[in-house]
Amino acid sequence: MRKEMRIESPLIICFEHDGKTITHLHPGKFTHEHYGMLIADIVRHISRAFKVGEDEVWEWVDKERHHPTTDVQEVKVQ
């Protein structure tokens, strides 16, 4: 049986400042596994919002993952 993993009130903010992409993750008490699950949830929400299949969204996620258009420059876990 899989243990349930949840993030209560998650917030991910990405913005550009002085030419840098800044990312804030809140709350910081969770793991990369929690945030990985959150990314999957976000893909499902995006596919539903734009009325496209999840695979269409994952295609663009994979393109960006394999050939990033921005560098990870500053990440704050709060």
- Token readout for 61 is 């996620």
Give the Cα separation of 20 and 18 in Å (integer). Answer: 6
For the chain, domains (ranges, CATH) are 12-77 (3.30.2370)
H/E element, 33: helix 32-49
Strand partners, 13: 24
Helix (H) or strand (E) segment spanning residue 74: strand 74-77
pLDDT at position 72: 79
pLDDT value of position 74: 76
pLDDT of residue 57: 98
Supply the Cα-derived Rg of the chain in whole angstroms.
Answer: 14
Report the DSSP beta bridge partners of residue 20.
Answer: 17
pLDDT, tens digit only, all 78 positions of the chain: 677 777 788 888 989 888 888 889 888 788 888 889 999 999 999 999 999 999 999 999 999 999 998 887 778 887
